[in-house]
Amino acid sequence: MKATCWKGPNTVQVEEVPDPKIINARDAIVKITSTAICGSDLHLLQAYVPAMVPGDILGHEFMGEVVEVGQQVNNLKVGDRVVVPFPIACGVCSACQKGMYSVCENSNPNAWMAEKLWGHAGAGVFGYSHLTGGYAGGQAEYARVPFADVGPLKVPDGMTDEQVLFLSDILPTGYMGAEMCDIKPGDVIAVWGCGPVGQFAIASAYLLGAERVIAIDRFPYRLQMAREKAGAETLNYEEVDVIDALKEMTGGRGPDACIDAVGMEAHGHGPMYAFDRAMHAARMETDRPLALREAIKACRNGGTVSVIGAYGGYIDRFPIGSIMNRSLTIKAGQCHVQRYMQPLLEHIQNGDIDPTFIITHTLPLEQAPHGYDIFKHKLDNCEKVVLKA
Protein backbone atom coordinates (compact mmCIF):
# COMPACT_ATOMS: atom_id res chain seq x y z
CA MET A 1 0.00 0.00 0.00
CA LYS A 2 0.94 3.66 -0.20
CA ALA A 3 1.71 5.47 3.06
CA THR A 4 3.00 8.85 4.20
CA CYS A 5 6.31 8.17 5.90
CA TRP A 6 8.48 10.38 8.12
CA LYS A 7 12.01 10.18 6.72
CA GLY A 8 13.83 12.63 8.99
CA PRO A 9 13.38 16.21 10.22
CA ASN A 10 11.18 18.14 7.78
CA THR A 11 11.05 15.27 5.27
CA VAL A 12 7.97 13.20 4.46
CA GLN A 13 7.52 10.91 1.48
CA VAL A 14 4.70 8.77 0.16
CA GLU A 15 6.15 5.27 -0.21
CA GLU A 16 5.11 1.70 -0.93
CA VAL A 17 5.05 -0.27 2.34
CA PRO A 18 3.65 -3.69 3.35
CA ASP A 19 -0.11 -3.88 3.97
CA PRO A 20 -1.12 -4.06 7.64
CA LYS A 21 -2.35 -7.39 9.02
CA ILE A 22 -4.58 -8.46 11.89
CA ILE A 23 -2.27 -9.18 14.85
CA ASN A 24 -4.73 -9.46 17.75
CA ALA A 25 -8.29 -10.75 17.96
CA ARG A 26 -9.58 -7.24 18.74
CA ASP A 27 -7.98 -5.62 15.64
CA ALA A 28 -9.69 -4.43 12.49
CA ILE A 29 -8.21 -3.35 9.19
CA VAL A 30 -9.66 -0.16 7.73
CA LYS A 31 -9.35 0.85 4.08
CA ILE A 32 -8.89 4.57 4.39
CA THR A 33 -11.03 6.95 2.35
CA SER A 34 -10.16 10.29 4.02
CA THR A 35 -7.41 11.39 6.39
CA ALA A 36 -6.15 14.76 7.55
CA ILE A 37 -2.90 16.49 8.47
CA CYS A 38 -2.94 17.84 12.03
CA GLY A 39 -1.01 20.66 13.70
CA SER A 40 0.52 18.07 16.00
CA ASP A 41 1.87 16.22 12.93
CA LEU A 42 3.99 19.33 12.38
CA HIS A 43 5.62 18.82 15.79
CA LEU A 44 6.61 15.32 14.61
CA LEU A 45 7.70 16.63 11.23
CA GLN A 46 10.24 18.91 12.89
CA ALA A 47 11.24 16.22 15.40
CA TYR A 48 10.13 18.24 18.42
CA VAL A 49 8.44 15.08 19.65
CA PRO A 50 11.20 12.55 20.39
CA ALA A 51 11.37 8.88 19.34
CA MET A 52 10.49 9.16 15.66
CA VAL A 53 12.20 6.57 13.46
CA PRO A 54 12.72 7.10 9.71
CA GLY A 55 9.99 5.18 7.89
CA ASP A 56 7.31 5.71 10.55
CA ILE A 57 3.86 6.11 8.99
CA LEU A 58 2.22 9.40 10.00
CA GLY A 59 -1.41 10.30 10.63
CA HIS A 60 -3.91 10.01 13.47
CA GLU A 61 -7.03 11.53 11.88
CA PHE A 62 -8.59 9.00 9.53
CA MET A 63 -11.71 7.12 8.49
CA GLY A 64 -12.74 4.53 5.99
CA GLU A 65 -14.28 1.14 5.39
CA VAL A 66 -13.76 -1.96 7.51
CA VAL A 67 -12.24 -4.68 5.31
CA GLU A 68 -11.24 -7.27 7.93
CA VAL A 69 -12.06 -7.88 11.60
CA GLY A 70 -10.44 -10.02 14.29
CA GLN A 71 -12.36 -12.82 15.99
CA GLN A 72 -13.31 -10.77 19.04
CA VAL A 73 -14.63 -7.71 17.21
CA ASN A 74 -18.37 -8.25 17.36
CA ASN A 75 -19.65 -4.73 16.86
CA LEU A 76 -18.17 -4.13 13.40
CA LYS A 77 -18.46 -6.04 10.17
CA VAL A 78 -16.75 -5.89 6.81
CA GLY A 79 -18.22 -3.01 4.80
CA ASP A 80 -19.01 -0.74 7.78
CA ARG A 81 -17.94 2.87 7.37
CA VAL A 82 -16.11 4.10 10.46
CA VAL A 83 -14.26 7.11 11.82
CA VAL A 84 -11.37 6.16 14.11
CA PRO A 85 -10.43 8.10 17.30
CA PHE A 86 -6.73 8.98 17.64
CA PRO A 87 -6.15 7.58 21.17
CA ILE A 88 -5.96 3.79 21.18
CA ALA A 89 -7.92 2.58 24.20
CA CYS A 90 -8.74 -0.86 25.60
CA GLY A 91 -12.07 0.08 27.15
CA VAL A 92 -11.58 -2.00 30.31
CA CYS A 93 -8.67 -0.57 32.32
CA SER A 94 -9.13 1.80 35.24
CA ALA A 95 -8.62 4.90 33.07
CA CYS A 96 -10.95 3.72 30.29
CA GLN A 97 -13.61 2.85 32.87
CA LYS A 98 -13.49 6.49 33.98
CA GLY A 99 -13.86 7.66 30.38
CA MET A 100 -10.26 8.88 30.28
CA TYR A 101 -9.38 7.07 27.08
CA SER A 102 -6.30 9.12 26.19
CA VAL A 103 -4.56 7.76 29.29
CA CYS A 104 -5.51 4.10 28.72
CA GLU A 105 -3.17 1.88 30.70
CA ASN A 106 -3.04 -0.98 28.20
CA SER A 107 -2.46 0.49 24.76
CA ASN A 108 1.09 1.85 24.87
CA PRO A 109 3.63 -0.97 24.50
CA ASN A 110 6.44 1.58 24.97
CA ALA A 111 5.11 2.84 28.29
CA TRP A 112 8.63 2.67 29.76
CA MET A 113 9.78 5.36 27.34
CA ALA A 114 6.96 7.71 28.28
CA GLU A 115 7.43 6.97 31.99
CA LYS A 116 11.02 8.19 31.77
CA LEU A 117 9.91 11.51 30.32
CA TRP A 118 6.53 12.04 32.02
CA GLY A 119 6.52 9.84 35.15
CA HIS A 120 3.60 7.80 33.83
CA ALA A 121 2.59 6.87 30.28
CA GLY A 122 -0.45 7.93 28.30
CA ALA A 123 -2.36 5.87 25.76
CA GLY A 124 -1.02 4.61 22.47
CA VAL A 125 -1.70 6.96 19.57
CA PHE A 126 -1.71 6.27 15.82
CA GLY A 127 1.28 7.67 13.95
CA TYR A 128 2.62 9.65 16.87
CA SER A 129 6.18 8.46 17.59
CA HIS A 130 7.45 5.47 19.53
CA LEU A 131 6.80 7.36 22.76
CA THR A 132 3.08 6.65 22.20
CA GLY A 133 3.53 3.10 21.02
CA GLY A 134 5.03 3.35 17.55
CA TYR A 135 1.71 2.49 15.87
CA ALA A 136 1.51 2.97 12.11
CA GLY A 137 -0.64 5.98 11.27
CA GLY A 138 -3.54 6.58 8.94
CA GLN A 139 -2.15 8.84 6.22
CA ALA A 140 -2.08 5.68 4.16
CA GLU A 141 -4.34 3.40 2.15
CA TYR A 142 -4.94 0.99 5.04
CA ALA A 143 -4.47 0.95 8.81
CA ARG A 144 -4.59 -1.65 11.56
CA VAL A 145 -6.93 -0.45 14.30
CA PRO A 146 -6.30 -2.14 17.68
CA PHE A 147 -9.21 -2.44 20.15
CA ALA A 148 -11.56 -1.94 17.22
CA ASP A 149 -14.44 -3.06 19.44
CA VAL A 150 -13.97 0.13 21.53
CA GLY A 151 -12.88 3.08 19.40
CA PRO A 152 -14.32 3.33 15.88
CA LEU A 153 -17.67 5.08 15.41
CA LYS A 154 -20.00 3.83 12.67
CA VAL A 155 -20.94 6.59 10.27
CA PRO A 156 -24.68 6.94 9.57
CA ASP A 157 -25.78 6.65 5.94
CA GLY A 158 -25.98 9.88 4.04
CA MET A 159 -23.17 11.69 5.84
CA THR A 160 -20.09 12.70 3.90
CA ASP A 161 -16.52 11.90 4.97
CA GLU A 162 -15.89 15.63 5.45
CA GLN A 163 -18.80 15.96 7.90
CA VAL A 164 -17.49 13.26 10.24
CA LEU A 165 -13.72 13.00 9.66
CA PHE A 166 -12.86 15.55 12.37
CA LEU A 167 -14.59 13.43 15.03
CA SER A 168 -11.27 11.52 14.97
CA ASP A 169 -9.52 14.33 16.88
CA ILE A 170 -9.88 18.05 16.39
CA LEU A 171 -13.61 18.55 16.89
CA PRO A 172 -13.65 16.59 20.19
CA THR A 173 -10.36 18.25 21.16
CA GLY A 174 -11.75 21.75 20.63
CA TYR A 175 -14.93 20.74 22.44
CA MET A 176 -13.07 19.29 25.42
CA GLY A 177 -11.02 22.49 25.58
CA ALA A 178 -14.23 24.48 25.95
CA GLU A 179 -15.81 21.95 28.32
CA MET A 180 -12.81 22.21 30.68
CA CYS A 181 -13.63 25.94 31.02
CA ASP A 182 -16.80 25.08 32.95
CA ILE A 183 -18.64 27.85 31.10
CA LYS A 184 -21.38 29.79 32.94
CA PRO A 185 -23.90 32.18 31.34
CA GLY A 186 -22.26 35.54 30.66
CA ASP A 187 -18.73 34.11 30.51
CA VAL A 188 -16.06 35.54 28.23
CA ILE A 189 -13.67 32.94 26.84
CA ALA A 190 -10.36 33.73 25.12
CA VAL A 191 -8.81 31.25 22.68
CA TRP A 192 -5.12 31.37 21.68
CA GLY A 193 -4.65 29.97 18.18
CA CYS A 194 -7.05 30.03 15.23
CA GLY A 195 -5.90 26.80 13.65
CA PRO A 196 -8.49 24.04 13.24
CA VAL A 197 -8.61 23.14 16.96
CA GLY A 198 -8.91 26.81 17.91
CA GLN A 199 -11.82 27.27 15.48
CA PHE A 200 -13.63 24.30 17.01
CA ALA A 201 -12.86 25.51 20.53
CA ILE A 202 -14.50 28.85 19.66
CA ALA A 203 -17.58 27.18 18.16
CA SER A 204 -17.80 24.79 21.13
CA ALA A 205 -17.53 27.60 23.67
CA TYR A 206 -20.62 29.20 22.11
CA LEU A 207 -22.35 25.79 22.02
CA LEU A 208 -21.68 25.50 25.77
CA GLY A 209 -23.15 28.92 26.52
CA ALA A 210 -20.30 31.46 26.36
CA GLU A 211 -21.50 35.03 25.85
CA ARG A 212 -18.36 36.24 24.07
CA VAL A 213 -15.35 34.45 22.61
CA ILE A 214 -12.19 36.38 21.79
CA ALA A 215 -9.68 34.65 19.50
CA ILE A 216 -5.98 35.43 19.16
CA ASP A 217 -3.68 34.68 16.18
CA ARG A 218 -1.43 36.52 13.76
CA PHE A 219 -2.63 35.29 10.35
CA PRO A 220 -5.37 37.57 8.96
CA TYR A 221 -7.07 34.70 7.06
CA ARG A 222 -7.33 32.62 10.23
CA LEU A 223 -8.67 35.57 12.23
CA GLN A 224 -11.19 36.20 9.46
CA MET A 225 -12.36 32.57 9.62
CA ALA A 226 -12.68 32.87 13.41
CA ARG A 227 -14.88 35.96 12.99
CA GLU A 228 -16.96 34.91 10.02
CA LYS A 229 -17.36 31.16 10.52
CA ALA A 230 -16.95 30.64 14.26
CA GLY A 231 -18.33 33.99 15.46
CA ALA A 232 -15.41 35.24 17.56
CA GLU A 233 -14.10 38.73 18.20
CA THR A 234 -10.43 38.72 17.23
CA LEU A 235 -7.05 40.12 18.25
CA ASN A 236 -3.93 40.04 16.09
CA TYR A 237 -1.02 39.68 18.51
CA GLU A 238 1.31 41.36 16.04
CA GLU A 239 -0.81 44.51 16.27
CA VAL A 240 -1.81 44.76 19.93
CA ASP A 241 -0.57 43.84 23.38
CA VAL A 242 -2.88 40.89 24.01
CA ILE A 243 -3.05 41.12 27.80
CA ASP A 244 -3.81 44.87 27.69
CA ALA A 245 -6.39 44.40 24.94
CA LEU A 246 -8.14 41.59 26.81
CA LYS A 247 -8.28 43.72 29.97
CA GLU A 248 -9.82 46.55 28.02
CA MET A 249 -12.43 44.23 26.49
CA THR A 250 -13.45 42.73 29.84
CA GLY A 251 -13.79 45.71 32.16
CA GLY A 252 -10.24 45.30 33.44
CA ARG A 253 -10.88 41.84 34.84
CA GLY A 254 -9.66 39.47 32.12
CA PRO A 255 -11.44 36.53 30.44
CA ASP A 256 -13.23 34.02 32.70
CA ALA A 257 -11.33 31.20 31.01
CA CYS A 258 -8.46 30.98 28.55
CA ILE A 259 -7.88 28.14 26.10
CA ASP A 260 -4.38 27.40 24.79
CA ALA A 261 -4.95 25.86 21.35
CA VAL A 262 -1.40 26.63 20.22
CA GLY A 263 0.97 24.32 22.06
CA MET A 264 4.69 23.83 21.84
CA GLU A 265 5.61 25.81 18.73
CA ALA A 266 4.16 29.17 19.66
CA HIS A 267 5.33 32.32 17.92
CA GLY A 268 5.52 35.79 19.38
CA HIS A 269 7.83 38.74 19.60
CA GLY A 270 10.12 40.52 22.03
CA PRO A 271 12.80 39.18 24.37
CA MET A 272 10.72 36.26 25.70
CA TYR A 273 10.24 34.91 22.18
CA ALA A 274 13.97 35.24 21.46
CA PHE A 275 14.67 33.39 24.72
CA ASP A 276 12.28 30.53 23.86
CA ARG A 277 13.56 30.29 20.28
CA ALA A 278 17.13 29.94 21.50
CA MET A 279 16.29 27.46 24.27
CA HIS A 280 14.10 25.41 21.92
CA ALA A 281 16.66 25.36 19.12
CA ALA A 282 19.32 24.16 21.58
CA ARG A 283 16.82 21.53 22.86
CA MET A 284 17.29 23.01 26.38
CA GLU A 285 13.55 23.59 26.47
CA THR A 286 11.41 21.07 24.59
CA ASP A 287 8.48 23.44 24.10
CA ARG A 288 7.95 27.17 23.46
CA PRO A 289 5.20 28.18 25.88
CA LEU A 290 4.50 31.77 24.75
CA ALA A 291 0.77 31.29 24.33
CA LEU A 292 0.48 29.39 27.61
CA ARG A 293 2.29 32.08 29.62
CA GLU A 294 0.10 34.75 28.08
CA ALA A 295 -3.11 32.75 28.67
CA ILE A 296 -2.18 32.34 32.34
CA LYS A 297 -1.38 36.02 32.86
CA ALA A 298 -4.46 37.20 30.96
CA CYS A 299 -6.95 35.01 32.83
CA ARG A 300 -9.10 36.72 35.48
CA ASN A 301 -8.48 35.97 39.16
CA GLY A 302 -9.99 32.61 40.03
CA GLY A 303 -10.42 31.67 36.37
CA THR A 304 -9.51 28.54 34.43
CA VAL A 305 -6.77 27.93 31.88
CA SER A 306 -7.54 25.02 29.56
CA VAL A 307 -4.58 23.49 27.73
CA ILE A 308 -5.35 21.48 24.60
CA GLY A 309 -2.38 22.61 22.49
CA ALA A 310 0.17 19.78 22.37
CA TYR A 311 3.23 19.89 24.64
CA GLY A 312 6.00 17.32 24.77
CA GLY A 313 8.28 17.85 27.72
CA TYR A 314 9.63 20.81 29.66
CA ILE A 315 9.26 24.58 29.59
CA ASP A 316 11.06 27.48 31.19
CA ARG A 317 9.85 30.69 32.87
CA PHE A 318 6.58 29.08 33.89
CA PRO A 319 4.46 31.71 35.74
CA ILE A 320 3.60 29.60 38.75
CA GLY A 321 3.38 32.76 40.89
CA SER A 322 0.54 34.06 38.75
CA ILE A 323 -1.31 30.76 39.11
CA MET A 324 -0.81 30.38 42.84
CA ASN A 325 -1.42 33.96 43.94
CA ARG A 326 -4.50 34.44 41.76
CA SER A 327 -6.28 31.12 42.44
CA LEU A 328 -6.16 29.90 38.85
CA THR A 329 -7.14 26.39 37.83
CA ILE A 330 -5.15 24.69 35.07
CA LYS A 331 -6.82 21.83 33.21
CA ALA A 332 -5.16 19.93 30.42
CA GLY A 333 -5.31 16.74 28.43
CA GLN A 334 -5.03 14.88 25.22
CA CYS A 335 -8.66 14.52 24.24
CA HIS A 336 -10.64 11.51 25.46
CA VAL A 337 -12.09 11.32 21.96
CA GLN A 338 -14.18 8.17 22.42
CA ARG A 339 -16.24 10.00 25.07
CA TYR A 340 -17.28 12.79 22.68
CA MET A 341 -17.79 11.09 19.29
CA GLN A 342 -21.44 10.12 19.62
CA PRO A 343 -22.70 13.38 21.21
CA LEU A 344 -20.77 15.50 18.70
CA LEU A 345 -22.05 13.35 15.82
CA GLU A 346 -25.55 14.27 17.02
CA HIS A 347 -24.63 17.97 17.10
CA ILE A 348 -23.48 17.66 13.48
CA GLN A 349 -26.68 15.84 12.51
CA ASN A 350 -28.79 18.50 14.25
CA GLY A 351 -26.96 21.26 12.41
CA ASP A 352 -25.57 22.81 15.63
CA ILE A 353 -22.12 22.70 14.10
CA ASP A 354 -20.85 22.13 10.56
CA PRO A 355 -17.19 21.14 10.90
CA THR A 356 -16.52 21.32 7.16
CA PHE A 357 -15.90 25.08 7.33
CA ILE A 358 -12.23 24.61 8.22
CA ILE A 359 -11.30 22.60 5.09
CA THR A 360 -9.27 24.73 2.70
CA HIS A 361 -7.40 22.02 0.76
CA THR A 362 -8.33 18.55 -0.47
CA LEU A 363 -5.48 16.58 -2.06
CA PRO A 364 -4.83 13.02 -3.17
CA LEU A 365 -2.74 10.98 -0.70
CA GLU A 366 0.21 11.08 -3.10
CA GLN A 367 0.43 14.84 -2.53
CA ALA A 368 0.84 14.55 1.26
CA PRO A 369 4.33 16.14 1.18
CA HIS A 370 2.86 19.19 -0.58
CA GLY A 371 0.06 19.23 2.01
CA TYR A 372 2.60 19.27 4.83
CA ASP A 373 4.49 22.07 3.12
CA ILE A 374 1.55 24.43 2.65
CA PHE A 375 0.14 23.67 6.11
CA LYS A 376 3.47 24.19 7.85
CA HIS A 377 4.25 27.45 6.07
CA LYS A 378 0.62 28.69 6.07
CA LEU A 379 0.78 29.06 2.29
CA ASP A 380 -2.27 29.64 0.12
CA ASN A 381 -4.33 30.50 3.27
CA CYS A 382 -4.06 26.87 4.36
CA GLU A 383 -6.19 25.98 7.41
CA LYS A 384 -6.84 22.23 7.07
CA VAL A 385 -5.66 19.68 4.53
CA VAL A 386 -7.75 16.59 3.85
CA LEU A 387 -6.08 13.74 1.94
CA LYS A 388 -8.15 11.33 -0.13
CA ALA A 389 -6.71 7.83 -0.24
Contacting residues toward Zn ion, per CB under 5 A: 38, 61, 89-90, 93, 96, 104, 106, 169
Shortest Cβ 168–Zn ion spacing (Å): 7
Alpha-helix residue ranges (DSSP H) falling in the chain: 39-45, 94-97, 111-118, 161-164, 170-179, 196-207, 220-228, 242-249, 271-281, 290-298, 320-325, 337-350, 368-376
Q: CB of 318 within 8 A of CB of 328?
A: no
> In DSSP terms, which residues pair with 66 in a beta bridge?
30
Q: Judged by CB, which is closer to Zn ion: 93, or 117? A: 93
Q: Judged by CB, which is closer to Zn ion: 35, or 234? A: 35
Shortest Cβ 5–Zn ion spacing (Å): 18
Q: Judged by CB, which is closer to Zn ion: 206, or 375? A: 375
Question: What type of residue sits at position 265?
Answer: E
Shortest Cβ 169–Zn ion spacing (Å): 4
Q: Judged by CB, which is closer to Zn ion: 43, or 347? A: 43
Burial class (CB in 10 A: 0-12, 13-18, 19+), 377: exposed
Q: Judged by CB, which is closer to Zn ion: 89, or 295? A: 89
Q: CB of 123 within 8 A of CB of 107?
A: yes
Shortest Cβ 92–Zn ion spacing (Å): 6
Q: CB of 151 within 8 A of CB of 73?
A: no
Shortest Cβ 99–Zn ion spacing (Å): 11
Q: CB of 188 within 8 A of CB of 177?
A: no
Spell out the long-range contacts of 355-359 with Cβ–Cβ below 8 A and sequence spacing 24 or more: 355/162, 355/163, 355/166, 355/171, 355/200, 356/160, 356/162, 356/163, 357/199, 357/225, 357/229, 357/230, 358/166, 358/196, 358/199, 358/200, 358/225, 358/229, 358/383, 358/384, 359/162, 359/383, 359/384, 359/386
Shortest Cβ 125–Zn ion spacing (Å): 9
Q: Judged by CB, which is closer to Zn ion: 93, or 208? A: 93
Question: What type of residue sits at position 282?
Answer: A
Q: Judged by CB, which is closer to Zn ion: 3, or 188? A: 3
Shortest Cβ 128–Zn ion spacing (Å): 9
Helix or strand holding residue 379 (H, E): none
Taking the C-alpha atoms of residue 77 and residue 70, their distance in angstroms, rounded to an integer, is 10
Shortest Cβ 322–Zn ion spacing (Å): 29
Q: Judged by CB, which is closer to Zn ion: 171, or 202? A: 171
